[in-house]
Amino acid sequence: MKKSNTYLADDEKDLRDLIKKLWKEKILILSISIICGLLGYFYALLKPQVFETEIIFKKLPAQIFEPYNLYNNPNNNNNNNNNIDVQFISDFKLNFLSLDNLQSFIEESREFDNFKRYLKIRNISAKEYFRNKIGEVKDKNIILSNKYFLNHTKELDGAIFLNKYVEFKKKKTIVELKNVLKLSFLNAIDNHQVALNIAKKIQLENPIINTMGQQQLFNESENLFYKGTKVLEENLIYLNKKIIKLENDQFNYNIILQEPLILKKKVSMSSSLHFVFGLILGLFLSLGIIFFKSILK
């Protein structure tokens, strides 16, 4: 029992000595903690403020691309391209999130001089600047369909940038889509031209009656000559008109459902939180210095 009381007495004595030592070094502890806290505070003030801008895209009506679906064409061989609107939105979103496309947009744009100077002063590229700063909005780890965010500093007007960038990417995606669709039409024209030559050689002017048993036969491109020269010639005229229409179509529509909205909040940690973390860091740092001094003694 006496041994236990001795241990308790020793522990109390050690605790009193520790408190006395810390109290003796109170000026050091307070000084280092306050200095670290102020450093954290001023670091937050000097750190560039980051704002978030959100934009929402709308679902495009399928009717916009309906004239160019292959199932509406004379060469009705498959329905692989009957969801052009879905493919367009998918391609547009990939282009929209591409860092290379962001880089090329900034380089080609004659606007955003203030932002370009900011990049030059910091010696970073637009690609480096936008890394991890643009993407799909999530709510409780669930991706919100068609809603995207852009984190940016005050040197970049997020709303104006997104409006211009969306239009830039829409035009680029339309050009890519036109090239793909044109290849599909040219392929259909080639198939019809070959079939027309065969039909002429066998002197087949009128189409062979398409019975149920011949359905598969008529759906194969190599058997298009069964349609006869009259139908094939009309189909070729139709396909060439479609190409002309495609080349002239500007696809004028607005892909933005909700205009870019700049959220009036900082994405980065506030200066007060930086101050608190600085105080805590300073406290541990001062305790470490005191412990090191006691070892040296």
With cut-offs at 50, 70 and 90, classify the pLDDT of residue 16.
confident
With cut-offs at 50, 70 and 90, classify the pLDDT of residue 269.
low
What is the average per-residue pLDDT within 181-192?
A: 92
The C-alpha atoms of residue 72 and residue 70 are separated, in whole angstroms, by 5
The C-alpha atoms of residue 35 and residue 243 are separated, in whole angstroms, by 72
What are the residue boundaries of the structural domains of the chain, listed by start?
48-273
Please report the pLDDT score of residue 286 as a whole number.
84
Q: Check residue 48 and report its DSSP letter.
A: P
Please report the pLDDT score of residue 134 as a whole number.
94
Residue 237 CB-half CA count within 13 A: 6
Mean pLDDT score of the chain, rounded to an integer? Answer: 82
With 0-12 / 13-18 / 19 or more C-beta atoms within 10 angstroms meaning exposed / middle / buried, residue 121 is exposed
Please report the pLDDT score of residue 37 as a whole number.
84
User: 3-class DSSP state for residue 124?
Assistant: coil
pLDDT single digits (tens) 45-101: 777 778 899 999 988 777 888 888 765 545 454 444 458 888 888 899 999 999 999
Please report the pLDDT score of residue 29 as a whole number.
82
With cut-offs at 50, 70 and 90, classify the pLDDT of residue 32.
confident
**Global model pTM greater than 0.75:** no
The C-alpha atoms of residue 246 and residue 39 are separated, in whole angstroms, by 62
The C-alpha atoms of residue 120 and residue 112 are separated, in whole angstroms, by 12
The CATH number of domain 48-273 is 3.30.1890.10: yes
| Residue type at 72 in one-letter notation | N
User: 3-class DSSP state for residue 235?
Assistant: helix
Cβ neighbors of 35 (< 8 A, separation 6 or more) are 282
| Residue type at 258 in one-letter notation | Q
The C-alpha atoms of residue 83 and residue 66 are separated, in whole angstroms, by 9
Tell me which range, 2-11, 38-47, 75-84, 126-135, is most confidently predicted by mean pLDDT. Answer: 126-135
Please report the pLDDT score of residue 215 as a whole number.
47
